[in-house]
Amino acid sequence: MDTWKTAPFELGHGDDACLLLHGFTGSPWDIRPLGEALAARGMHVKAPRLPGHGTTPEAMLEVGHQHWQEAALEALHSLRGFRHVFVAGLSMGALLGLRLAARCPERVKGLVLIAPAARFKGPTMALLKGLRRTGLLERVKPWVRKTATDLSDPVALADAPILPAFPSARLNDVWILQEVALADAPLVRCPTLVVVAEQDHVVDPDGGRWLAGQLTKASGVQLLSLQEGYHIIPRDRGGPRLAAEVGDFLKRLQGWTEDADASATASAGTPAP
């Protein structure tokens, strides 16, 4: 794997920041076009590489959902110096972002869930999930092989850094994270944009629509459905529209949060009657 492609990155300058989180077996490469677009619009962008990802299959042996959640939280805390912080995540990264927004409402001012892994597609994942508590999967098939990623754009697909295999035991970590994140959905209070790709072969877009309906306490929920591209939306044919829509969404939030800050400052300076 080309580790220079999968490296974490920080881009841009500005008073506000966006934390970008990639998905399971992915890397910051998957979300870099979105990061570059947000940086071009005057925002600081940080995209960590989650533990065990983007290097070798063996690196996934000693990590799990706790490590991924800790890394996401650490990355959020590293952005303390910024005026407002937003979070955007792809697939499993969307689940991590959901947890951050639910558990750190004072820090996360806006949330973008891109192809959230709320519900996986196809009978194979359902069957594997049914075996998760038996230990049979790990014994019979300790490694899951990968030869491609879910991209419709042939140029992006040819360029994609692909982790050739991962331990099947890590699937249980994904399912655990899925369960705890979805349970947190009603706790999210910030404005949220949910993005689904209708041709996604990894997650069911209906799962994303269902998740949008679970964000009952969020101060505004928007749903964006893309007809072009597959699961890795930022790198695929729907990527330019995604970048434009996310940029516009966060820009509106920047305006709202600035107005709220100004109102709070004015109220604090008003003498009591």
User: Mean pLDDT per 10-residue run, the chain (273 residues)?
Assistant: 91 96 98 98 98 97 97 97 97 98 97 97 80 79 92 97 95 96 98 98 97 97 98 98 98 76 48 42
Cα–Cα distance for residue pair 101/148, rounded to 1 Å: 31
Cα torsion 184, 185, 189, 194 to 10°: value is 140
Residue 230 lies in a domain: yes
Asked if the structure places residue 264 within a domain, the reply is: no
Reduced to 3 states (helix: H, G, I; strand: E, B; else coil), residue 226 is: strand
> Quick one: residue 250, left, alpha or beta (phi over 0 = left, psi -120 to 50 = alpha)?
alpha
CB 143, CB 167: distance < 8 Å:
yes
Confirm if 242 and 234 have CB atoms less than 8 A apart: yes
pLDDT at 268: 47
Asked, for residue 154, whether it belongs to a domain, the answer is yes
- What is the longest distance spanned by two Cα atoms in the chain? 74
DSSP per-residue letters across 25-38: T--GGGGHHHHHHH
Contact 48, 75 (CB under 8 A): yes
Residue type, 266: A
Separation of alpha carbons 175 and 13, rounded Å: 36
State the CB neighbour count (10 A cutoff) for residue 100.
26
| Domain of residue 58, CATH code | 3.40.50.1820
In a domain, 271, yes or no: no
Predicted pLDDT at 253: 95
Give me the pLDDT at residue 257, please.
62
Asked whether residue 260 is domain-assigned, the answer is no
Domain range enclosing 97: 9-252
- Classify residue 259: in a domain, yes or no: no
Does any domain span residue 239? yes
Of 46, 31, 35, 29, which is closest to residue 247 (Cα–Cα)?
A: 35
The residue type found at 19 is: L
- The crossing angle, in degrees rounded to 10, of helices 65-77 and 92-103 is 60
**Sign, Cα dihedral of 170, 162, 50, 226:** negative
Q: Model-level pTM?
A: 0.92
pLDDT of residue 138: 82
What is the bridge-based pairing of β-strands 44-47 and 143-145?
Answer: unpaired
Tokens of 154: 């042939």
Number of domains in the chain: 1
CA distance 241 to 27: 21
Query: What residue type is 111 in one-letter code?
Result: L
Assess if residue 263 is contained within a domain: no
* Predicted local distance difference test score (pLDDT) of residue 258: 57
Residues β-bridged to residue 11:
45
